[in-house]
Amino acid sequence: MTLTLTRRALAVAAIVTCGAFSAQAQGFTPENPECIAPANPGGGWDFTCRQVGKSLQDQGLIPSTMQVVNLAGGGGGVAFAEVVNKRNDENDLIVAASSATATRLAQGAYPGNTMDQVRWLASVGADYGVIAVAADSEISTLPELLEKIKIDPTSISVAGGSAVGGWDHLKVLIATNAYGIDDVRVVKYIAFDGGGEAVTQLLAGSVQAFTGDLSEAKGFMDSGDVKVLAVLAPERLGGQFADIPTATEQGVDAIGANWRGFYAPGGMSDAAYDYWVDRIGTLYASDDWKAIMEANGLAPLSLQGAEFEAFVADSVAQIEAISRQIGIIQ
C-alpha cells in the first residue's frame, strides 16, 4: 500500500486567512462561561481551554472566570455527544476542538454525529506535530526510531492522545509511510485520553515513543523528561524551538499540523455566537496572544465564523481522503 499525501492536506497551519471580526455582539453576556476540554488534563484540548480562558479573562474580554471541565472519552466523542444531545441550547458553553476533532468526524467515529450539528466559532492557531522519546532513550533521531519499527514493529509501542485512527495516530503513520514502510498498519499505536496521559506512560516506560503536538510536549521538554526527535513542520521553528530538527531534514518527508479552535452548541443563539466569535477573534489579534503562540510553538491560523466553518469542512474532507488511502475507513 502506497500513501500519497499532498502538502496542502498536511500543512494546514500554512493556510493563513485573515477574516474580518464579527461586529461587536449586542445583547448577550455570558453569566457562567464554560469550556469543555474533551480529554484529561495535560493535553492539547486542555491547554486550549485553559490558556484561552485565562487570556480572555486577563484581557477583560469575558466578565468572569472561565470554568474548564475535562470530559474525556472516545477521542472527543463523549464531549461531542454531550453537547449535541444534552446541552444543545447553552449560550455560555464553548468546546475545544482541533484536527483530532475533524479526524474523528471524517472517519464517522462519533456515531450518529456530524460537524453540522454544532456551530464552529474560531481558530486560535495551529500546533505542529512532534515525535518524541524519553530523555534517557537510546534513540536519538527519527530515522533510528522508524528503522526499529521497520525491522521489528512489535519492538516499538507509540503512545498518542487521540483514539486509534485519530490525528495523533495519523501523524506517526504519515512518518512511517514517508520512511518507506508501505503497510503502516504494522505500527503498534496505543491510544490514551489526552497527550498528557500519553507522555506519562512514555516516562513510565510503558511505551517507547510519543506522537502528539508541540504544545503537549513543551512542559516535558522544559523539565528535561522527553527528547523530541522531530517536529513535523516544513522548516525549523523559531525561538526556543529552533534546535528541534524537522522530519524533512532527516530524510522523512512528513508534515502534520494540528489546528486549534472552538465549537459551540448547535442551538446557540445568534447573539451568543457573534459574541464568542468576536471575543476569540479579538483575543487572537492581541499582542498578548501572539506572545503566547510564540512561547508554545503555535503557528498562525486566523479564521472566524463562516470562514472557520468552511475550513473545518475542508479539513474533514481532506482527512477522510487520507483515511481512505491508508485503509482506516473503506
Mapped onto helix, strand or coil, the DSSP state of residue 310 is helix
Neighbours of 152 (CB within 10 A): 10
Contact 157, 128 (CB under 8 A): no
238 Cβ contact list (under 8 Å, min separation 6)? 294
pLDDT of res. 70: 97
> Checking DSSP bridges between strand 157-160 and strand 209-213, what pairing results, if any?
parallel
Contact 260, 124 (CB under 8 A): yes
pLDDT of res. 325: 74
pLDDT of res. 26: 61
> pLDDT by residue (tens digit) across 166-184?
889 999 998 998 999 988 8
Mapped onto helix, strand or coil, the DSSP state of residue 188 is strand
What span, in angstroms and rounded, lies between the C-alpha atoms of 45 and 38? 6
Contact 154, 188 (CB under 8 A): yes
Q: If DSSP states are collapsed to H, E and C, what string results for 226-265?
A: EEEEEECCCCCCCHHHCCCCECHHHCCCCCCEEEEEEEEE
User: Mean pLDDT per segment of 10 residues, for the chain of length 330 residues?
Assistant: 38 37 63 96 92 97 97 94 97 96 92 95 94 97 98 96 88 91 90 91 96 90 96 90 96 91 98 98 97 90 95 89 79
pLDDT of res. 312: 95
503513520: which residue's cell?
173
**Could you tell me which residues are beta bridge partners of residue 261?**
97, 123
Q: Where in the chain is the domain with CATH 3.40.190.150?
A: 7-126+257-325
> pLDDT by residue (tens digit) across 57-69?
999 999 999 999 9
Rounding to the nearest 10 degrees, give the CA dihedral for residues 57, 61, 62, 65. Answer: 0
Task: Give the CATH number of domain 128-250; options: 3.40.50.720, 3.40.190.10, 3.40.50.300, 1.10.10.10.
Answer: 3.40.190.10
pLDDT of res. 21: 37
487520507: which residue's cell?
322
What span, in angstroms and rounded, lies between the C-alpha atoms of 3 and 24? 46
**Phi and psi angles of residue 187, each rounded to the nearest 5 degrees, phi first:** -65, 130
What span, in angstroms and rounded, lies between the C-alpha atoms of 187 and 169? 9
Enter the pTM of the model.
0.77
- At the top level of CATH, which class does the domain 7-126+257-325 belong to? alpha beta
Q: Where in the chain is the domain with CATH 3.40.190.10?
A: 128-250
